[in-house]
Amino acid sequence: MTVLDGTACPQCGRPRPSDAASGLCAACLFAIAASIEDEVCPYQVLAPIEQDAHGVTYLAERHASSSRGFVALSVIAHGDGDAILGRFHQLRPALARLQHPGAAKVLDAGSTSNGSVYVVSEYVTGTPLAGVVTRQRLDRAGLVEIARQMTEAVAAAHSAGVLHLALDGSRVKVSTAGAPHAAIAGFGVRAIVEGCVGDPDTDLRALDALVRQLELRT
Amino acid sequence: MSDASFPPLRAGRFATTRWSLVLAAGGQTDARSAEALASLCELYWYPIYAFVRRQGYNVTEAADLTQEFFLRVLEKNYFRALDPARGRFRGFLCASVRHFLSNERDRARSLKRGGRRPPISLDVETAEGRYQLEPHDNLTPEKLFDRRWGLMLLDRALTRVARDYADAGKAPLFEHLKGFLTGDSSGVPYAEAASTIGMSEGAVKVAVHRMRRHFRDALVEQIAETVSDPADIDAEIAYLLNAVS
């Protein structure tokens, strides 16, 4: 794949050889290769959590992190890596705007030296919402509080420009140690991994179903 | 853990390279090492031809000497006589051809004399056509050899990247973004490229980053075939950067 080009490289100023590979500056190509370090995944995988259509999600933590914060790291087995990373890049400002204790969002995405693409989300602990309801671990006031927190989390995410698009009971984790606290996992995942362009109403309908589920049991 | 876009280029790349196979054989009869050496010679014959031509030999002499040189190299005993830079195939070949020419200058060509079958397929017309494009500067045969070596490696690496993109159904993406590999895209900003190919600017930046990494891995894979120690790869990249500058 040789292209004739006898001009100077606008990047480094060196003359490009007349049969430079693809018309590209040979010195710049070697310089680029020399400047790229092996990309090491900055997360340490601890244990698998779940497997779905996208791949396997692991409990992980960041290497050399001063705080012991766990994350959920999904290794994407099926999907266009370039597109996933591009969508993450695009959604990043909205994700940065989303700051709510009840909305767990995508934190990071990247690729390792062997080309694997991963998406990192805040890891949420607690009992799945369905379990809390079934086991009647909260009184009516507690359930109302959970409903309020979920509603606030969805509103905060929408206000920031981040949709969930896969909201169901399995995504809501409730902590009942002390004051009840609900957190919704996975904001931004579907948009980034699948490229879904959804509608806020999708989340609102799902939220409505979840709240109804709470009211039905009280 | 694999990206669906491309096969992992670097997986197991250092297990057994062709050059390490040759060195491991240590000049002993070994079909695998002989085959490995022959294939390396097939890939990298042009820098030898250019070296010989730059030494002042005419087209016919250079073609004969190149064939004769490879015939000698492919004879097992040649390894024991020469080992100044055995760690890298490039260094081995360059030192070997220099040594060969100093001994061969006044001797009749055994290849012609014996009528043996040429060890590599050398298209003299193509080789000479390429040689005529070489800059008429003061490059010594050694510097020309190194420069040619570096350009060949780049060409192979880029061809590999182009093929991988085509296999992944992304040939148009490669064509649109390859200019960004060097940071030089003839003045076309990311936003303009994004608009042309229907991607966001952020997505283009990510795609360029990934393409550069893929290119780097392809280049490393090519170089890894010609060094005996993986630790030499970065030094070889730095050496070749200087050689083509």
pLDDT tens by residue, B42-97: 778 889 999 999 988 888 888 888 888 888 777 755 655 545 445 688 888 888 88
Question: Is the Cβ of B8 closer than 8 Å to some Cβ of chain A?
Answer: yes
Token digits of residue A146: 């959970």
Of residues B163 and B128, more confidence is placed in B163
User: What pLDDT was estimated at residue A122?
Assistant: 94
**Are the Cβ atoms of B173 and A22 closer than 8 angstroms?**
no
Rounded Cα gap, residues B142 and B148, in angstroms: 10
Residues 6+ apart with CB under 8 A from A78: A53, A54, A55, B4
Interface probe, candidates B182, B201, B220, B244, chain A, greatest A C-beta count within 10 A: B182
Taking the complete model, does pTM exceed 0.90, yes or no? no
- Contact predicate B127/B29, CB 8 Å: no
User: What pLDDT was estimated at residue A5?
Assistant: 43
Across A25-169, the runs of DSSP E, i.e. the strands, are 43-51, 55-62, 70-76, 103-111, 117-122, 127-128
User: What pLDDT was estimated at residue A103?
Assistant: 96
Smallest Cβ distance to B212: which of A36, A79, A90? Answer: A36
User: What pLDDT was estimated at residue A218?
Assistant: 44
Per-residue pLDDT of A157-213, as tens digits, reads 999 999 999 999 989 999 888 888 999 999 999 999 998 888 999 999 999 999 988
User: What pLDDT was estimated at residue A183?
Assistant: 95
User: What pLDDT was estimated at residue A3?
Assistant: 34
User: What pLDDT was estimated at residue A6?
Assistant: 55
Smallest Cβ distance to A9: which of B11, B184, B237? Answer: B184
**Are the Cβ atoms of A18 and B135 closer than 8 angstroms?**
yes
Rounded Cα gap, residues B19 and B226, in angstroms: 5
Chain B residues with CB-CB distance to A115 below 8 A: 2-3, 5-9, 214
User: What pLDDT was estimated at residue A18?
Assistant: 62
* B232-244 vs A26-35: helix crossing angle, rounded to 10: 150
User: What pLDDT was estimated at residue B164?
Assistant: 92
SS3 percent helix, strand, coil of chain B, rounded to 5, is 65, 0, 30
User: What pLDDT was estimated at residue A154?
Assistant: 97
Smallest Cβ distance to B181: which of A1, A29, A112? Answer: A29
DSSP reduced 3-state for A118: strand
Q: What percent of chain B has pLDDT over 70?
A: 73
**Are the Cβ atoms of B215 and A114 closer than 8 angstroms?**
no
Smallest Cβ distance to B245: which of A14, A36, A87? Answer: A14
User: What pLDDT was estimated at residue B71?
Assistant: 80
User: What pLDDT was estimated at residue A2?
Assistant: 41
Low-confidence ranges of chain A (pLDDT < 50): 1-5, 218
Question: Is the Cβ of B178 closer than 8 Å to some Cβ of chain A?
Answer: yes
Smallest Cβ distance to A33: which of B135, B170, B216? Answer: B216
* Mean pLDDT score across all residues of chain B: 77
User: What pLDDT was estimated at residue A73?
Assistant: 93
A123 to chain B, closest Cα gap in Å: 21
**Are the Cβ atoms of B1 and A116 closer than 8 angstroms?**
yes
**Are the Cβ atoms of A1 and B205 closer than 8 angstroms?**
no
Look at residue B35 and tell me whether its pLDDT is greater than 70: yes
Question: Is the Cβ of B237 closer than 8 Å to some Cβ of chain A?
Answer: yes
Question: Is the Cβ of B171 closer than 8 Å to some Cβ of chain A?
Answer: no
User: What pLDDT was estimated at residue B184?
Assistant: 58
Look at residue B14 and tell me whether its pLDDT is greater than 50: no
Smallest Cβ distance to B200: which of A25, A31, A86? Answer: A86
Smallest Cβ distance to A24: which of B181, B202, B210? Answer: B181
Look at residue B1 and tell me whether its pLDDT is greater than 90: no
DSSP reduced 3-state for B31: helix
- In this predicted complex, what is the ipTM? 0.76
**Are the Cβ atoms of A32 and B135 closer than 8 angstroms?**
no
**Are the Cβ atoms of A115 and B186 closer than 8 angstroms?**
no
Per-residue pLDDT of B167-185, as tens digits, reads 988 899 999 898 888 875 6
Question: Is the Cβ of B215 closer than 8 Å to some Cβ of chain A?
Answer: yes
Of residues A35 and B218, more confidence is placed in B218
**Are the Cβ atoms of B182 and A9 closer than 8 angstroms?**
yes
User: What pLDDT was estimated at residue B186?
Assistant: 61
Average pLDDT over residues B36-41: 74
**Are the Cβ atoms of B207 and A86 closer than 8 angstroms?**
yes
B74 to chain A, closest Cα gap in Å: 29
B6 confidence band (pLDDT: 50, 70, 90): low
CA-nearest of B51, B37, B220 to B145 is B51
Token digits of residue B180: 């960004």
Per-residue pLDDT of B88-133, as tens digits, reads 888 888 888 888 888 776 554 555 555 556 666 667 778 888 888 7
Parallel, antiparallel or unpaired: strands A117-122 and A103-111: antiparallel
